[in-house]
């Protein structure tokens, strides 16, 4: 299920439209993840406030989305492009990779709420494939 030229174009096209709101997207996706999938809170026991839109959630949303932005710029070779991020997730953060799917789902839901007309079925499939490929690249160094 690798990214075709059409998929990459669709992702870059959509990203151009939404990058201005990247911080809002990150914050909203993370907020939803923590509420809808409470088991994900186990990774953030060091935060004072895990409620939707809180300061740590907003800050971390920005961090996550800058990673996504980096992935968009390296869409032609995600595996080598995201090696550092993969090492971070594998050796330091040690996040169970099953959670990548969960966050990806919430990113898609947020895109649907914020860009209902741009998030067409074609944009949806391209973005879903991209986030899967991103997650796979992030898992690269796990074992």
Partner 1 sequence: MVQWKAEERAAIQAVFAKLDYESVGRETLTRLLVVYPWTRRYFGGFGNLFNSEAIMANPKVAAHGIVVLRGLEMALKNMDDIKNTYASLSELHSEKLQVDPGNFQLLGDCLTVVIATRMRTEFTPDIQAAWQKFLAVVVSALRKQYN
Start-to-end CA span in the chain (Å): 22
Q: Which stretch binds partner 1 (CB under 8 A): 5-13, 26-34, 74-82, 90-98?
A: 26-34
Q: Rule CB under 8 A: is residue 135 a binding residue for partner 1?
A: no
The residue (of 52 and 67) whose beta carbon lies closer to partner 1 is: 52
Provide, rounded to whole angstroms, the least separation between the CB of residue 60 and partner 1.
15
Q: Rule CB under 8 A: is residue 124 a binding residue for partner 1?
A: yes
DSSP the chain: -PPPHHHHHHHHHHHHHHGGGHHHHHHHHHHHHHHHSGGGGGGGTT-S--STT-HHHHHHHHHHHHHHHHHHHTTT-HHHHTHHHHHIIIIII---THHHHHHHHHHHHHHHHH-TTTS-HHHHHHHHHHHHHHHHHHHTT--
Quick note: the x/- pattern for partner 1 over 91-110, rule CB under 8 A, is --------------x--xxx
List the structure tokens of 26: 């990150």
The residue (of 85 and 123) whose beta carbon lies closer to partner 1 is: 123
Q: Rule CB under 8 A: is residue 119 a binding residue for partner 1?
A: yes
- Within residues 32-51, the interface with partner 1 by CB under 8 A covers 32, 34-36
| Contact footprint for partner 1 (CB under 8 A) | 31-32, 34-36, 52, 105, 108-110, 112-114, 116, 119-122, 124-125, 128
């Amino acid at each position: 299920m690798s990214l075709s030229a059409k998929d990459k174009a669709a992702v870059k096209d959509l990203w151009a439209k939404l990058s201005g709101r990247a911080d809002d997207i990150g914050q909203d996706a993370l907020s939803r993840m923590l509420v809808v999938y409470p088991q994900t809170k186990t990774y953030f026991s060091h935060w004072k406030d895990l409620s939707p839109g809180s300061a740590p959630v907003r800050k971390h949303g920005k961090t996550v989305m800058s990673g996504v932005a980096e992935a968009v710029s390296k869409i032609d070779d995600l595996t080598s492009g995201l090696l550092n991020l993969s090492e971070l997730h594998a050796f330091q953060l040690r996040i169970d990779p099953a959670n990548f799917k969960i966050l990806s789902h919430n990113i898609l839901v947020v895109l649907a709420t914020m860009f209902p007309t741009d998030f067409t079925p074609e944009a949806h499939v391209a973005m879903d494939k991209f986030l899967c490929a991103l997650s796979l690249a992030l898992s690269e160094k796990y074992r």
